[in-house]
Amino acid sequence: MTAALTLPTAELHLHIEGTLEPELALKLAGRNGVELPFASVEELRAAYRFTDLQSFLDLYYACMAVLRTRADFRDLAAAYLTRAAAEGVRHAEIFFDAQAHTARGVPYKDVVGGLQDALDGAARLGMTGGLILCFLRDAPVEEAEAVWAEARRQPEALLGVGLDSAEVGNPATPFAHLYAEARALGLHAVAHAGEEGGPEYVWEALRELRAERIDHGIRSLEDPQLVRHLAEHRIPLTVCPFSNVRLRAVPSLAEHPLPAMLAAGLRVTVNSDDPAYFGGYAGQNLAAVAEQFGLDRSSLAELARNSVTASFAPDGRQAELL
């Protein structure tokens, strides 16, 4: 590992449900009496063969059935934070899919309470962070409205709101009123866009949701006007190389557009997305692109710096990490 890889970083694109390692999934299945269609860690890992985003989401949502109690969410997030801290992550902005849990009868307060318990405990690891509530764009907007009605009563528990799940054919605009309400409460706004969908999805997230960061955004490169806009406005893109390869958004790591994005002057950060499923955590994503593209120290330092300055951490905390 090069010295630059040990610089403090922030992780800005991480779905906590995507950190559910098979070992913990089976343990929680036993603890909660939930049946998973996999008898062993090996069987579960063998199912990690994805052809696109939807094929992953099918397994991702199935596995989260094991998450039932506040303690489950705490254990899940505590495991992630411990692992991330060991890799140099010092600040984590954690997505969670509340609707995927409330739809199964898990109370919103238990989800947020458990995740917050873990964040409180991570302070002793030198970690800071916060929670970003993601709306599921492939579910009826009424479901997002229902979870938001609960979340908005306790906005101080959140850093912001996001938008995730199956992108193509599921426009962002129906969620615009929820984003407007979140902004009015002082929350930040991010959205997945340009992962499988084309540049028009990125434009829509910027214009209709007023997203401050774009999650993925790799297909932005197809639209030179969009590239100019993103570069000029310094809009961060939270790129997830292993995810893009595993979900076949790009054919291989060698063909990943990260170098082109950096060369175009885009404000790129490197993240893990769903590390339990995609073969590595943030540090491993960074190490792999460093090796693949022969990134020098200054490029790695730029990526580390971008992750901190693109975070929603207070200025004082950012200064500590830079």
Name which of 194 and 283 has its Cβ closer to ligand ADE: 194
Alpha carbons 264 and 176: distance in angstroms, whole number: 29
C-beta of 7 vs 132, nearer to ligand ADE: 132
User: Is residue 17 part of the contact set for Zn ion (CB under 5 A)?
Assistant: no
> Is 274 assigned a ligand-binding role in the annotation?
yes
Q: Are 230 and 310 in contact (CB under 8 A)?
A: no
Q: Which stretch binds Zn ion (CB under 5 A): 113-121, 220-228, 229-237, 270-278?
A: 270-278
- 195, 200, 204, 212: the active-site residue: 195
The greatest distance separating any two alpha carbons of the chain, rounded to the nearest whole angstrom, comes to 53
273 is in an annotated binding site: yes
* Closest to 52 in 3D by CA, of 224, 226, 243: 243
Give the residue with the Cβ less far from ligand ADE, 241 or 299: 241
* 101 marked as binding residue: no
Q: Does the footprint of Zn ion cover residue 72 (CB under 5 A)?
A: no
Residue 107 to residue 23: CA distance in whole angstroms: 24
Residue 273 near Zn ion by CB under 5 A: yes
The answer to whether 91 and 126 are in contact (CB under 8 A) is no
Of 128, 147, 161, residue with least CA distance to 319: 128
Q: Which one-letter amino acid corresponds to residue 124? A: R
User: Is position 110 annotated in a ligand binding site?
Assistant: no
Picking from 182, 180, 168, the residue whose alpha carbon sits closest to that of residue 247 is 168
- Binding residues for ligand ADE, per CB under 6 A? 15, 18, 53, 60, 164-165, 192, 195, 243, 273-274
d(CA 244, CA 256): 8
Is 91 one of the annotated binding-site residues? no
Nearer to ligand ADE, 60 or 203 (CB): 60
CA-based R_g, the chain, Å: 18
Q: What is the nearest approach in angstroms of ligand ADE to the Cβ of residue 192? A: 5
Q: Which does 18 bind (CB under 5 to 8 A by kind): Zn ion, ligand ADE, none?
A: ligand ADE
Contact of residue 135 among Zn ion, ligand ADE, none (CB under 5-8 Å per partner type): none
3-state secondary structure of 99: helix
222 is known as an active-site residue: no
Residue ranges for the known binding site for substrate are: 274
Residue ranges for the known binding site for Zn(2+) are: 13, 15, 192, 273
Residues annotated as catalytic are 195
List residues binding Zn ion (CB under 5 A). 273
